[in-house]
Structure 1
Amino acid sequence: MRRTSTWIATLITACTLMTPAFAQQAELLERTFSGVSKETTPQAAKADIQNQASQKISEEVIRELIGEDRFTKNKTLLQNKVIKNSARYIPFSKPSNLTQEGEEYKMSVAMKVSLRDLKQMLQENSLLNENDTIPVVIPAISFVDRVQGRSYRWWQPVDKNPAGFLFKEGRAVEEALRNSFQVKNFYVIKPLESGLGASVPPQFQNEKIAGEDAQFFAQYFNAPVLIDGQVLFSKEEKGSNYTIEIRMTATQVSNARPIADVSRKFTTDSGAFETSVDKKMREVLEGTANDLASQVFEAWQRGSLGTSIIRVTIKGAQGLPMMEAMKEKIRSQITQVKNIRERVVSSEGLSYEVDTSASASELAQKIEALDFDGKKLSKVSDAQDEIVLKFAQ
């Protein structure tokens, strides 16, 4: 136990001592291109292969960042506005010795691509966002009134009159969410206003929307993000005040991954139940909805929507500076990796939680291709959401 604790303490120290220069270097993506030229002079051949390298490496990295469909659709714009100005995001280029075989010249070129600068150029030309269409969000929030013993869920058939007050508050929540998400370029469906409950099949009219039910709602209403949660009204033990509890979680339905959540508790002024609660709801809904919308938008900006979490376990302790450098290399050299965090640290190895748009097998192949200070990783096993690797002998 003492050995493991010391190992973890050393890791923390190593992370603390990382210099700004190292952090800046980690943002540079390393790529190598081997080219052939039929130019008649060595000088012309060298320039030709270097231009080929800039073109091909640019195309390769941009495809990884924005996807094949977007790349093909905007190829002319990319060529004229981005690749033509590759010097802005390729700060380092090192050619090998030029060799001649017959009428051909051969040479390899090592380049470093600044992902930060390239992403900035793509963003300037509205090419970085992964979604061409406005993302759609559907709320599925339960309203529970413990004061008068009633509840309301838009996807369950119910007489609106007994739950009239809850229906009214549900409309207010829908409006707040619509306004907050619209500012972030998301579209929130308003099921209560649209009367969507009547179209939900009986087998999906359950109290909680999760698992297969959530998948159905996402597909049926074409909304990849679902907001579930509860708004609860109750009476305080003393006095004539009431409590409002709001809990909402935004989930990426495709992989059941929570991407944002808010939890708030408010106390009303003294007074009649419905009047006091309605007044307080009007005061707090905008801020609560804004918080949730901002979290979802941040996940979208990071490219986390449309990604999944894969656990990457690397067996065999290799020293803490090496393990930290390895994490940074995976993050910086694999463009499909959006984020990487340590989850389990032990004397036997380390497990990461990797946020990525690549599949487990694709991610394993890309990690195996990396060089870690002269060492390579080889795959032991992979599953849908987990990869196990070890250092090759």
Structure 2
Amino acid sequence: MRLASVVAAAGMIFALGFGAKAQHTELIDRTYSGVSKETNPQVAKKVIQDEAFQKVSEEIIQELIGSERFLKNKSLIQSKIIRNSARYIPFTKPSAMSQAGEEFKMSVAMKVSLKDLKQMLQDNSLLNENDAAPVVLPMISWQDRVEGRSYRWWLSLDKNPAGFLLKEGRLLEEALRGAFQKNNFYLVKPIEAGLAANVPADFQNEKVGGEDAQFFAQYFNAPVIVDGQVNLTKGENKNYRIELRLTAIQVSNGRAIADVSRRFDTDGGSFESAVDKKLREVLEGTANDLAAQVMEAWQRGSVGTSVIRLTIKGRQTLPVWEGVKEKIRSQLTQVKNIRERLVSADSVSFEVDTSVPAAELIGKLEALDLDGKKLSRVSEGQNEIVLKWAQ
């Protein structure tokens, strides 16, 4: 059972009561201490405050996107993000100013909305981890169970090439190219480009996965592969059925980042004309759905991250579990997304998208202040962390 469903079932009073708390956990506290040699105390105060917004913003943004990406986009970050720091720094509290010799000293306490800052970075395409060109390679197999033929672009054509499937494959390539292009991705069109001739014999296998997928990704410089199947069968009413499944995979770690599954029934008529007509009607919408999911994952920063299973042992109330999830999401800049996967009476397991290894993440989790409570480690593996509530 998903936490969201349980919380919804608990009623509107609980939801409203916890909503304010969830919003509060989205704010992180930062303090900056600065000095100014301005002779006018009011001017000195403004100088220190402006410097506080600048330094704290730079520090958090580098935590979110990395130093290399920060330096590469420093001008954009300054003009589009930091210049509008009031959008993600809603509260500031300067201390009393003191003077030591010719210098004024002051500290500034701030609350930073990580959610709003992430949104601004995402809106400017700065949040994703991957600097590689967003190239997508389709690896889609066609299976025609009506005429008993199949087609995969990476296999050398035999003496009787599947002309109809080749034509429909081009149609799907064109739809995918258009959809991904709208989201600033470049989709390779291997059928049109005749890339089959470039595939070594050792990699001309019906199913592409594992090391084969790594080869294709590196060979064609494509960090994302669309693994797909199109099955054509007879329908129940003298028509035909098209079953289409497309999964976008981040090849570096084998993660599925987008998935579309569709089933369409054609109108009556001859097999090839009926199938062609239906595909021309539905491919654009299907391709747009897949491309939008990939773009969302890219902007969110999920592409280039690894997935770690986080289990926290101990009996707690639902508000506490929801608070933990929100705290991790909002307080740890290294966590790009967190989803609950298994809820039991005495533990909850989450799936965490993170840009750091488990050994580093576990230290940050133990340092979290969960409304006066702490977590301590039970065990740690490459892809799994188990914690418990500290005594």
What range describes the TM-score normalised by the shorter chain of this pair?
0.7 to 0.9
TM-score by length of 1: 0.85
**CA-to-partner distance for each residue in 1:45-65, whole Å, 9 max, x for gaps?**
877765554333211111122
SS in 1 for 2:241: strand
Q: Which moved more, 1:65-74 or 1:165-174?
A: 65-74
User: In the alignment, what sits opposite 1:13?
Assistant: 10
Alignment of 1:1-393 (within 5 A): 13=10, 16-33=15-32, 35=33, 37=35, 53-79=52-78, 82-94=81-93, 109-119=108-118, 121-122=120-121, 127-128=126-127, 130=129, 134-159=133-158, 161-236=160-235, 239=238, 241-393=239-391
SS at structure 2 position matched to 1:321 = helix
Which one is further off, 281-290 or 22-31? 22-31
The 1:276/1:76 distance shift into structure 2, 3 A limit, reads: closer
Residues 67-92 of structure 1, C-alpha deviation per residue, up to 9 Å, x if partnerless? 21121123345345543553442222
* AA of the residue aligned to 1:294: A
Q: Distance in 2 between matches of 1:385 and 1:101?
A: 52
Bigger shift: residues 106-115 or 281-290 = 106-115
Question: Contact 2:122–2:300 (CA<8 Å) still a contact in 1?
Answer: no
C-alpha separation between the residues in 2 aligned to 1:389 and 1:276? 57
For the residue of structure 1 that corresponds to 2:256, the secondary structure is: strand
Identity of aligned residues (%): 66
Distance 1:313 1:124 in 2: 32
Deviations 1:167-200 (A, max 9, x none): 1111111111111111111111011111111222
**Cα deviation, residue 243, structure 1:** 1.8
Contact 1:31 1:57 in 2 (8 A): yes
Kept in 2: contact 1:150–1:163 (CA 8 A)? yes
Whole-angstrom distance in 2 between the partners of 1:237 and 1:40: 84
Report the CA distance between 1:251 and its aligned residue: 1.2
Q: What is the distance in 2 between the residues matched to 1:250 and 1:84? A: 36
Q: Secondary structure at the match of 1:332?
A: helix
* Cα deviation, residue 276, structure 1: 2.1
* Letter aligned with residue 389 of structure 2: F
Q: Which has the higher contact order (CA 8 A, sep 6+)?
A: 2
1:344 and 1:247 mapped to 2: Cα distance? 27
The two structures, once aligned, show a CA RMSD in angstroms of 3.2
How far, CA to CA, are the matches of 2:100 and 2:379 in structure 1?
43
| Amino acid across the alignment from 1:228 | D
Supply the AA of the counterpart residue of 1:249: T
- Residue 110 of structure 1 deviates from its aligned partner by 3.7
Amino acid of the structure 2 residue aligned with 1:300: W
* SS of match in other structure, 2:279: helix
Determine if contact 1:11/1:320 at 8 Å carries over to the other structure.
no
Report how many aligned residue pairs link the two structures.
385
Cα distance in 1 between the residues matched to 2:288 and 2:7: 40
Q: CA deviation at 1:134?
A: 4.7
Q: Secondary structure at the match of 2:373?
A: coil
Contact 2:114 2:331 in 1 (8 A): no
For residue 254 of structure 1, give the secondary structure of its aligned residue in structure 2: coil
1:333, distance to aligned residue in structure 2 (A): 0.7
Contact 2:115 2:330 in 1 (8 A): no
TM-score where L is the length of structure 2: 0.85
Relative to structure 1, is the Cα distance of residues 283 and 55 closer, same or farther in structure 2, using a 3 angstrom cutoff? Answer: closer
Q: Deviations over 1:191-247 (max 9, x none)?
A: 1111111222222211111122111111111111111121112223553x2222211
| Cα gap change, 1:229 to 1:329, in 2 (>3 Å) | same
Q: Secondary structure at the match of 2:208?
A: coil
| Distance change in 2, residues 1:48/1:212 (3 Å) | same
Aligned-partner Cα distance in 1 for 2:341–2:230: 33
Confirm or deny: 8 A CA contact 1:36 1:104 kept in the other structure: no
SS at match of 1:112: strand
* Structure 2 CA distance for aligned equivalents of residues 196 and 101 of structure 1: 72
CA distance in 2, matches of 1:124, 1:270: 46
